[in-house]
Amino acid sequence: MTGSATAVVVSTTDSAEEAERLARGLVEARLAACVQIVGPVRSAFRWEGSVSVETEWQLVVKTASARVDELTAWIVAEHSYDVPEVIAVPVVGGHAPYLRWVTEETAR
């Protein structure tokens, strides 16, 4: 199976505008080959001692595994949340030409 060089990173934000700004910035910086904006979604979470249910937009980011640390740092620096969600999941397989494209588009 091909794909260990590719990762999917998930993040969320509280507005469609910020989601688009982050997505565009990630692609422009070549930290992501593609970012899908999903939403609105409803998220339930505990924050500062209280349980909240809020509307958010989810970013599904396709990137090279080698760029995950830099991508994470970029999101943390650019995000409006104090502690933004950034979860990276390795891709263990998929369509080889697509996975090559992700790697090519995120090359430094």
Q: What is the CATH number of the domain that holds 22?
A: 3.30.70.120
Q: Per-residue pLDDT tens for 21-61?
A: 999 999 999 999 999 999 999 999 999 999 999 999 999 99
Cα separation of 90 and 65, whole Å? 7
**Full domain range(s) for residue 57:** 6-105
Residue 58 in 3-state DSSP? strand
Cα separation of 29 and 49, whole Å? 36
Cα separation of 94 and 108, whole Å? 23
Contact assessment for residue 71 and residue 9, using Cβ atoms and an 8 Å cutoff = yes
Residue 1 covered by a domain: no
Predicted TM-score of the model (pTM): 0.93
Residue 56 covered by a domain: yes
**Looking at residue 3, what is its pLDDT?**
55
Residue 64 covered by a domain: yes
Residue 76 covered by a domain: yes
